[in-house]
Amino acid sequence: MKKLLKYIRPYLFWTLISPAFMLLEVFMDLLQPMLMSKIIDIGVATGNTPYIVRMCVLMCTVALLGVVGGVGNMIFSTKAGYGFAKDLRSDVYRKIQSFSFANIDQFKTGSLVTRTTNDITQIQNAFVTCIRMLIRAPFLFFGGVVMVCVISPRLSLVVLAAIPLLGMFIAVLLKKGAPLFMSMQQKMDRVNTVMQENLAGIRVIKAFARSAYEKQKFKAANDDLCNSSMRAMRMLSLSFPLISLIMNITMLLMYFFGGRLVFSGMLEPGQVMAFSNYVIQILSSLTMSSFMLMFLSRAGVSLKRVNEVLDTKSDISDGPNKDAKVTRGEVEFKDVSFRYPGASGDPVLKHISFSAKPGETVAILGATGSGKSTLVNLIPRLYDVSEGEIMVDDINVKDYELATLRGAIGVALQESVLFTGTIDENLHWGDNNASEESIKQAAAIAQADAFVSKFADGYETVLGQRGVNLSGGQKQRLCIARALVKHPRILILDDSTSAVDLSTEAKIQSGLRDAFGDMTVFIIAQRISSVMDADKILLIDNGEIIDSGKHEELKRRCSVYREIVVSQLGEEAAN
Ligand SMILES: Nc1ncnc2c1ncn2[C@@H]1O[C@H](COP(=O)(O)OP(=O)(O)OP(=O)(O)O)[C@@H](O)[C@H]1O
Ligand SMILES: [Mg+2]
């Protein structure tokens, strides 16, 4: 709640001025029945036409002022609500940007989408409704009660009996509503998660003819959301007729007793009419409150979910050493073990120790799932080690500021991800201020310049979402170029040439050596030919380094390595 106030503060003026306009509207609403009763009881009863006209003009003025109040309240409350929701949304978004991979794994992307969109909209709607109704409902209620008591204390007993009945009803409604709303938001998460996964993987789904299965999966999540919403709405829809039943019975009793009071001369007919109008106002203010509370309880659920995001501390944050800089690019793993957060069983990496000197190329070879990607992801702190430490230039990676550390490391991740925009924009991700020349140079080393130049628009070619209009190998080469643009001290290529033919791969590697001779390079590859020339090959199996050395050494002494060589290059190559 305190956090919410922080977001409301910049819009405090609108938040306060809006109810002031509402006050005007309520006041005018409360005046109307009184004026009407005067027209009937004085104007009509005595046939005083000028009085009726005067009163009519007054009523019109009052109505107009009411409209001004209503419109003003609407405009300002919307301004406050949408403004504060915008700020909240950008903070949640910014927070998510600061999340580590582990944080994102924990929330699931779909849920983060729901929280940033739907949940914040719920809070915004509740806020807007509140600054409208928070003044309107109580004033209309108490104003109405005072007015009925003034008109006829005896008749007002009828109304006062109905109020607790409605109040009890509303309390029950609220108690039942909260869990239903929570479940609704969770189902919404599920729909978003399924949808998001589905859209991201739509090509795979089609290739595997899994559309029917995916449709079924979406249908299940969607039906679930529908059922859950129906349950909540059923409760709400039941409440409408029940509230109006209570209201109608109250009106009936009021007319019955009111009529008798008119016959006995204790009340004027106009007064009964005004009375009935006030009763409607009182009861509708109660209905309004019930919906407002309902909105609030729903927004409370959403607020809790948004707060969970805001309160989550990114488990990877800047280290204390602000002056630490990566100058040489030396990397050392000291007895590093790693387990994915929340995972049980064996660690993914076990007691890994090795070092990579500046300018060295370290290749990592191993079966799929052996932990190669995990190992290199620890260097830019995409995850933090569970045990041991990783040093870059003799400083623990945890001591660097993240921007410094990551700024010095160029990564082409296993999955080539490009963004909507031109090729040029994508390559500038590496370095915003890179000159056209250095962009072209990086692309040339990554063997991307040739094919990009062939495109009609060259570097201005617009890429679709995730770079759909490129081949796998083209995407990989652009990702390498993007990593090179920032002239990193350490370069990590995680299976980045798997979709590139052998001769192109050889050209990329020799280009790297020529242009970035002092850069430390990590190459993960499945092909022996990709790693043969490396200064050091780490052979990984099941999260452990089983041997390391140069190609020739390993070929001689490591049977596993020999097997791989034989299987890929034939018997002769192993000798
Ligand atoms: N985000 C994650 N959460 C939990 N476990 C994970 C996660 N990512 C990978 N793993 C597990 O860690 C192990 C090592 O994965 P990793 O991606 O490092 O393998 P890899 O050697 O790069 O394989 P490949 O050659 O197929 O890319 C795998 O068993 C995998 O199941
Ligand atoms: Mg991998």
Q: What is the pLDDT of residues 501-513, one digit of tens each?
A: 888 888 998 888 8
User: Which whole number is the average pLDDT over 444-456?
Assistant: 92
Q: List the CATH number of the domain containing 550.
A: 3.40.50.300
pLDDT the model gives residue 385? 93
The rounded distance, in Å, linking the Cα atoms of 472 and 527 is 17
- Closest CA relative to residue 431, chosen from 451, 408, 464: 408
| Domain final residue, candidates 277, 311, 345 | 311
Banded pLDDT at 224 (limits 50, 70, 90)? very high
> For ligand 1, what atom is nearest to the CA of residue 372?
21
φ, ψ for residue 7 (rounded to 5)? -80, -25
Averaged pLDDT score across all residues of the chain: 88
Q: Which two tokens stand for residue 364?
A: 């990592």
Residue 323 lies in a domain: no
203 and 254 fall within a common domain: yes
In this predicted model, what pLDDT tens digit does every residue of 293-314 receive, in sequence order?
878 888 888 898 899 999 988 8
Residue 317 lies in a domain: no
Cβ atoms of 35 and 149 within 8 Å: the answer is no
pLDDT the model gives residue 517? 82
567 and 423 fall within a common domain: no
pLDDT the model gives residue 56? 92
pLDDT the model gives residue 353? 95
300 and 446 fall within a common domain: no
529 and 442 fall within a common domain: no
Banded pLDDT at 165 (limits 50, 70, 90)? confident
Cβ neighbours around 58 below 10 Å, total: 14
In this predicted model, what pLDDT tens digit does every residue of 19-77 receive, in sequence order?
899 889 989 988 988 898 889 888 888 889 999 999 999 999 999 999 999 999 999 99
φ, ψ for residue 439 (rounded to 5)? -65, -45
The rounded distance, in Å, linking the Cα atoms of 299 and 302 is 5
Strand 520-524 and strand 490-494: pairing? parallel
What's the N-to-C CA distance of the chain in angstroms?
72
- Any ligand 1 atom below 6 A from CB of 97: no
- Any ligand 1 atom below 6 A from CB of 111: no
Length of the chain: 575
pLDDT the model gives residue 314? 82
- Any ligand 1 atom below 6 A from CB of 366: yes
- Any ligand 1 atom below 6 A from CB of 224: no
| Domain final residue, candidates 259, 277, 311 | 311
In this predicted model, what pLDDT tens digit does every residue of 179-220 receive, in sequence order?
888 888 888 888 888 888 887 777 777 777 778 888 888 899
pLDDT the model gives residue 219? 92
417 C-alpha to ligand 2 centroid (Å) = 15
The rounded distance, in Å, linking the Cα atoms of 173 and 319 is 50
| Domain final residue, candidates 443, 458, 480 | 480
Burial class (CB within 10 angstroms; exposed 0-12, middle 13-18, buried 19+) of 94: exposed
Q: Is the pTM of this model over 0.75?
A: no
Q: Is the pLDDT of residue 465 over 80?
A: no
Owner of token pair 């759909």: 468
- Any ligand 1 atom below 6 A from CB of 121: no
Residue 348 lies in a domain: yes
Residue 61 lies in a domain: yes
Residue 257 lies in a domain: yes
Ligand closest to CA 367: 1
**Range of lowest pLDDT (136-150, 377-391, 462-476):** 462-476
Owner of token pair 């109905």: 162
208 and 335 fall within a common domain: no
Residue 345 lies in a domain: yes
User: Which whole number is the average pLDDT over 267-289?
Assistant: 86
Number of separate domains in the chain = 3
CB within 8 Å of 198: residues ≥ 6 apart: 205, 214, 217, 218
- Any ligand 1 atom below 6 A from CB of 492: no
pLDDT the model gives residue 575? 73
pLDDT the model gives residue 434? 87
pLDDT the model gives residue 270? 87
121 and 265 fall within a common domain: yes
The rounded distance, in Å, linking the Cα atoms of 31 and 40 is 15
- Any ligand 1 atom below 6 A from CB of 344: no
Ligand 1 atom 26: the closest Cα is on which residue?
Answer: 368
494 C-alpha to ligand 2 centroid (Å) = 7
Banded pLDDT at 400 (limits 50, 70, 90)? very high
Q: Which helix (H) or strand (E) holds 243?
A: helix 211-263
- Any ligand 1 atom below 6 A from CB of 284: no
The rounded distance, in Å, linking the Cα atoms of 138 and 286 is 8
pLDDT the model gives residue 342? 79
Residue 322 lies in a domain: no
User: Which whole number is the average pLDDT over 421-426?
Assistant: 90
Cβ neighbours around 134 below 10 Å, total: 16
Q: What is the CA radius of gyration of the chain?
A: 36
Coil vs helix vs strand at 458 = helix
The rounded distance, in Å, linking the Cα atoms of 357 and 522 is 11
507 and 454 fall within a common domain: no
Q: Any alpha helices (H) in 412-486, and if so which ranges?
A: 423-427, 436-445, 449-454, 472-485
pLDDT the model gives residue 67? 94
474 and 495 fall within a common domain: no
In terms of average pLDDT, the best of 151-165, 373-387, 458-472 is: 373-387
300 and 367 fall within a common domain: no
Banded pLDDT at 484 (limits 50, 70, 90)? very high
pLDDT the model gives residue 430? 79
Ligand closest to CA 493: 2
pLDDT the model gives residue 208? 76
32 and 158 fall within a common domain: yes
The rounded distance, in Å, linking the Cα atoms of 350 and 108 is 27
213 and 347 fall within a common domain: no
Banded pLDDT at 418 (limits 50, 70, 90)? confident
Residue 305 lies in a domain: yes
- Any ligand 1 atom below 6 A from CB of 435: no
Q: Is the pLDDT of residue 468 over 80?
A: no
Q: Which residues surround ligand 2, an ion (CB under 5 A)?
A: 373, 414
Cβ neighbours around 79 below 10 Å, total: 17
Ligand 1 atom 19: the closest Cα is on which residue?
Answer: 369
Ligand closest to CA 352: 1
Q: List the CATH number of the domain containing 135.
A: 1.20.1560.10
525 and 454 fall within a common domain: no
368 C-alpha to ligand 2 centroid (Å) = 7
Task: Provide the residue range defining the domain that includes 466.
Answer: 419-480
